Amino acid sequence: MQNFEFDIKKLQDGDIKMLARALSLVENGSKESGEILKALSFEKNTPIIGITGPPGAGKSSLVNALIGLILAHNKKIAVLAIDPSSPFNFGSLLGDRIRMAVHFNNPNVFIRSVSNRGNLGGMSSKIFEMADVLKNANFDYIFIETVGVGQSEVDIAGLADTTVVVLVPEAGDEVQTLKSGLMEIANIFVVNKSDREGADIFVKNLHALVHQKPSADWQIPVIKTVASADKGLTELWQQIENHAKSDRNNDYKINLSTEKAFQYIVQKRMKNISRASLFETLKKESNKKGFNLYEYLDKNY
């Protein structure tokens, strides 16, 4: 689209075409993206709910079920579903139409798949800016569902107001390893597929871990759900609402802003470096006798 003119008022009034175009420009780091971001207002504090956890935990099913519950209360919801991408062309391998087809045509739901473009942390490098664009649209809640790559998936804590870590009973044997990763970022633990064997023991062990990490302003709940049968969803949603109202100190918000600023600075300084150009350069240079990658990088970057 040529001569695109960003209109913040249209975005705030619910113009879906304006929203979709603005998200695309920001995601791709186009020349218009800087002006779009500088035009945003930050007076509205739409809560961002991060859904994370290892592969196979049922994150998409849980988000689907929560959307249905929230829609019954006449709320508007945006979902950024971060999909794993090919390491060769960085295209997304999954699609929102497949995963959330039941809600895709609902006018009160906006769903966008975002490729993580090879980011090992499970987050797209542009997700911070895209979330801010969504916060300027007329949504009541923003969900961000991450790829699901286990311990490295802690980036969501730098963006979400509430981080929900989804696990399954089969993860019981690995419960001690949670201390060094997901344990540190969880505001709410969900044991999904809790109709499976071992769920009660796993929940008990999670409670024990939670009690080892007391907090003055928030006691981390552990909730059993069966997303496919809509079980436990009301309790989960109540805890998400409770966390949004909890009296968190200002350092938490500053930490979120710090992470956002750090990611933005990194992107800005790296904008002239692409994997594609590196590939072509290294393809040429690596054939030279005695080529040393580190020497080459120190000299050219």
Q: What is the pLDDT of residue 180?
A: 57
For domain 42-268, the question of CATH label 3.40.50.300 is answered with yes
Cα separations in angstroms, 28 against 47, 82, 123, 126, 157? 24, 15, 15, 8, 23
- At 118 the three-state DSSP class reads coil
pLDDT along the chain (301 residues), means of 10: 80 95 91 91 89 87 93 94 56 48 83 68 70 94 79 66 91 63 82 94 89 76 95 97 78 73 80 84 90 88 83
- Best CA proximity match to 149, nearest among 57, 275, 220: 57
Q: Return the domain boundaries, the chain.
A: 42-268, 274-300
Cα separations in angstroms, 58 against 166, 190, 229, 279? 8, 10, 12, 36
**Are the CB atoms for 39 and 23 separated by under 8 Å?**
no
Instruction: Provide the terminal-to-terminal Cα distance of the chain, rounded to the nearest Å.
Output: 34
- At 253 the three-state DSSP class reads helix
- Best CA proximity match to 116, nearest among 87, 150, 151: 87
Q: How many residues does the chain have?
A: 301
**Phi (first) and psi of residue 129, to 5 degrees:** -65, -40
